[in-house]
Structure 1
């Protein structure tokens, strides 16, 4: 580390829990220290007799059916919308140091695709034999080459989050084979059972108290799966630890208004699925009831955070996935969720999101912290950014999240200048760096939100630029008027000369035509006018941009952009209205 980087590192670790730092330091020492004694041998117990409670399947990251068989037989596997060489003739588990396609690699080791193969084998008379053959070959190869002591296996294959997720898919898969009464080679079954027990034991001894947040909760889910699968005293120990973590994390991670403290709607749905799983896997009692109540509170928040197409807003990391299926799953724990769209406005003051559902606008405005002090890894420098839909069509979108590699796409997805907010002096409002790091963090303040049946009005500012010369402050006022206009006023106060820029990332289906101080926006159904009124002369243009609605998906689009360079204060008003016919030149 260079000396000039030290202040940024200190700003990054200062807000953390002291225990996170000490645990991370201890793990670093353990990795480098020579082994004094070998690992104790594991005595693998039996598994629970009879069928176990089986939570619903939450989404998919891979192909299914004949497409999966054909791709693997052809030497490719598609995960997270990307295909790479992998399959029958090349079981490349990507062991060792991985700097590219890291998320794809760790998803490979979740084993959901192996579950899908087993599902085909147990359900399809036509494709079942080939699916069983592929599953057996892949699992045997994984058990042989991805052991805990295999060179290069620990970082991604045997990290706690991967183990916890893999345990869920593996135990589901085991249940599929059992229910279908399909015999597998006895030696393979024994090695698989031994590996599952070793994975659960390793997870228990390597819980992610250094990362916390959604990772620690997923660790509890993995332990709960293992506790329901195996018998014996160790299993009871795993269950007790899973319950302890679940109770602690439900109180730490779920905010009073129902939002998840990482402030990512996508990860909000992920932890909802984990709460639901725990509410099924835990035995009846107080802890199970608490999981159910936590899920129910989270479901109401998710219901409000949906665009008219059902997909959640895309603040911070994650994909803009449809939340309806997650909400429907509440039926299995006795919670029925109203899937109709809410109407009116709501300010989730703990989560820091202001929402408007009306006609013609749906609006989500980020007026909260970028994330919790203990784990802002999924944060973007997007304070005061907004997303919106017009007459059920997405209009202004978030740049999204392509992957978790240290590359230009990651920088793009997290940068202030790519979001629907204001950037000063080409500096991010929060100091996002590397893949998951955040140093200096913008803090919103002066937040006021008022709504009635036809009108939304909110204002807020943040301190993310007060470290710059002249201590500039960005203040934003957002209004949805009774006449159906969206009006966004950005005010930058401070001293001295600065470069101020902002703009709007368009959903890809919109086309634009530029005029002197306005843009005409059209799609197959609507024509909108976006008019600019600035206190000082500024440059207005449209530039090429990209949109990442899902992991591994990149779509070309346009960014409407304005730039000002001069002395502060500066104010700019963007007014969006519907017009009945194309504007004349």
Structure 2
């Protein structure tokens, strides 16, 4: 899947840049100039740079046989406590795993050799395998063959990875592995022979000691929370693990004051990562409760504040909005997290610090991304989707963003393609992204080279109607342009009006024409057809009836799109309003209104 496919083109090759002066990764996927990348590197916090550099410089020490002498050895083959793990696995994937068929990151390998490092496997595939998250899927099979497979693979891993290696002992991978080994202990280890249990717990203790020594290891955001969850789990469950637990809770308390914003949103501005962090915090709380440990105030406060913000980001079907690397998730799984978090408060309507707005009237719900992308060092999940919106009617989604591949679905190239502005329901100017994208797996882990720095939003409500006036400067530095968007939702929820304007960022008019496209990506369940001689589009939902989209100031087109809301690719369509800016800019007005069913003729007596 390429950026051009997301934008609706039929040819697989991406389009060429329209202007070589576009300084940055465009919709075509060109890398930003070296100067911009160096400037973005300089924007990373100095402490973070030093942490990442120091971790890599210590690699020879971790790899040496002498390092292993300093890691602990356990004599007790019984864990002190076990963390609860109520999250469901996928039995079908578990059955495939029991037959040695591994599907991770969009890649399926049958009976790979060697299992832990097959030459044809991607980096993401290997990371998922070494994390042992698939133990939950084997557990869902609920049978001895799955249990035996789990033990055999675990025993093989322990034999091959007694010493440090960059991937197998990566701090994020290690944190995930510790959580899954101990979380699934009852399933695959409790009834095993004592020798297996002894080796498992000793390996876990050595990994925990290493993790306690290296964290934060240049990690930030939700990834660091995952690693801390693994360390806290090991500290609460393993003999002599109290120092590791203390270290984990100290770092966690510090991180929560930074990562959880005043409105309860997570600093990475991703609904999916917000959900993951909330679930990790709920699991840490449950682990501490099972171990009889006191609950830190910062942990309880974070859980209480993140719940209402999580509800803000839910659609009518209970799933999540598709902003910044999120998949929709199944509604019951989101509700399960919220129940465990005891989040009973109503959803927020506005999250000014995180940068999201929720407009709800009648059966219609509109969610808008109106915040600046996450800051440097926290932007690995950031998409170039500023001022994009999604809309649902009842439990049915109408307007969406393209989403992102699930953990089991796509490789890095596909993830990158779906980060572009054209994959979002917003305005794209001159085939350029509103924020410049860096490679997600770069050495310094930069997500963005440049971003929309100034994003404003004003909200007015009157008699049930809601008006949002927003603006961003993501195009100012390269195209000397501003994007303004206004959204108005009537009190009955059956009339959504919008206006998109492109204006010069300074006093000078545009010195060249700039093409624009306002996109409305449609959910795959929506049927769309051009009407009124191509001047409007009729959209029909399976249960919520018809809606008509019309506009002035642009040409209407109906094009192909792709939807990854469920993690898997599904064909869909998009309405695109094409136009060109004059010297003073451009102004597009559009309306999305519910079609009123024609009255049935009365029966004659």
Q: Give the TM-score normalised by the residue count of structure 1.
A: 0.86
CA deviation map 1:224-279 (0-9, x unaligned):
111112222xx222111111111111100001111111000111011001211222
Equivalent pair of 2:327/2:404 in contact (CA under 8 Å):
yes
The Cα shift of 1:418 comes to 1.8
| Residue of structure 2 equivalent to 1:424 | 429
Task: Find the aligned partners of 1:194 and 1:417 in 2 and give their Cα distance.
Answer: 50
Equivalent pair of 1:306/1:312 in contact (CA under 8 Å):
yes
Equivalent pair of 1:506/1:559 in contact (CA under 8 Å):
yes
| Residue of structure 2 equivalent to 1:72 | 97
Pick closer, same or farther for the CA change 1:468–1:346 going to 2, 3 Å: same
CA deviation map 1:117-167 (0-9, x unaligned):
3565xxx5xx32x23332232222222234435xxx522x22111111111
Out of 442-451 and 384-393, give the one that drifted further: 442-451
Spell out the pairing of 1:19-168 with structure 2 (5 A cutoff). Answer: 19-31=47-59, 38-41=66-69, 42-46=71-75, 52=81, 54-60=83-89, 63-64=90-91, 67-68=92-93, 70-79=95-104, 84-87=108-111, 92-94=115-117, 100=122, 102-118=123-139, 120=141, 124=142, 127-128=143-144, 130-149=145-164, 153-155=165-167, 157-168=168-179
Task: Find the aligned partners of 1:323 and 1:522 in 2 and give their Cα distance.
Answer: 23
SS of residue in 1 equivalent to 2:470: strand
| Residue of structure 2 equivalent to 1:337 | 344
Task: Find the aligned partners of 1:8 and 1:547 in 2 and give their Cα distance.
Answer: 31
| Residue of structure 2 equivalent to 1:16 | 44
The Cα shift of 1:548 comes to 0.8
| Residue of structure 2 equivalent to 1:476 | 485
Out of 347-356 and 186-195, give the one that drifted further: 186-195
Is 1:451 the equivalent of 2:474?
A: no
Is 1:228 the equivalent of 2:236?
A: yes
The Cα shift of 1:83 comes to 6.5
Q: CA RMSD in A?
A: 2.9
Is 1:530 the equivalent of 2:549?
A: yes
Task: Find the aligned partners of 1:479 and 1:74 in 2 and give their Cα distance.
Answer: 54
Equivalent pair of 2:385/2:434 in contact (CA under 8 Å):
yes
| Residue of structure 1 equivalent to 2:595 | 579
Task: Find the aligned partners of 2:385 and 2:212 in 1 and give their Cα distance.
Answer: 36
Pick closer, same or farther for the CA change 1:422–1:47 going to 2, 3 Å: farther
Equivalent pair of 1:12/1:437 in contact (CA under 8 Å):
no
The Cα shift of 1:453 comes to 5.5
Aligned residues: 548
Structure 1 residue runs without a partner (length 5+): none
SS of residue in 1 equivalent to 2:514: strand
SS of residue in 2 equivalent to 1:109: helix
Q: Greater relative contact order (Cα 8 A, min sep 6): structure 1 or 2?
A: 2
| Residue of structure 1 equivalent to 2:385 | 382
SS of residue in 1 equivalent to 2:227: helix
| Residue of structure 2 equivalent to 1:462 | 472
Spell out the pairing of 1:513-552 with structure 2 (5 A cutoff). Answer: 513-515=529-531, 516-525=534-543, 526-534=545-553, 538-551=554-567
Structure 2 residue runs without a partner (length 5+): 1-29, 441-445, 599-605
Pick closer, same or farther for the CA change 1:256–1:3 going to 2, 3 Å: closer
Task: Find the aligned partners of 2:334 and 2:542 in 1 and give their Cα distance.
Answer: 31
The Cα shift of 1:563 comes to 1.8
2:522 corresponds to which of 501, 506, 511: 506
Task: Find the aligned partners of 2:292 and 2:150 in 1 and give their Cα distance.
Answer: 35
Is 1:350 the equivalent of 2:353?
A: yes
Spell out the pairing of 1:251-290 with structure 2 (5 A cutoff). Answer: 251-282=257-288, 287-290=295-298
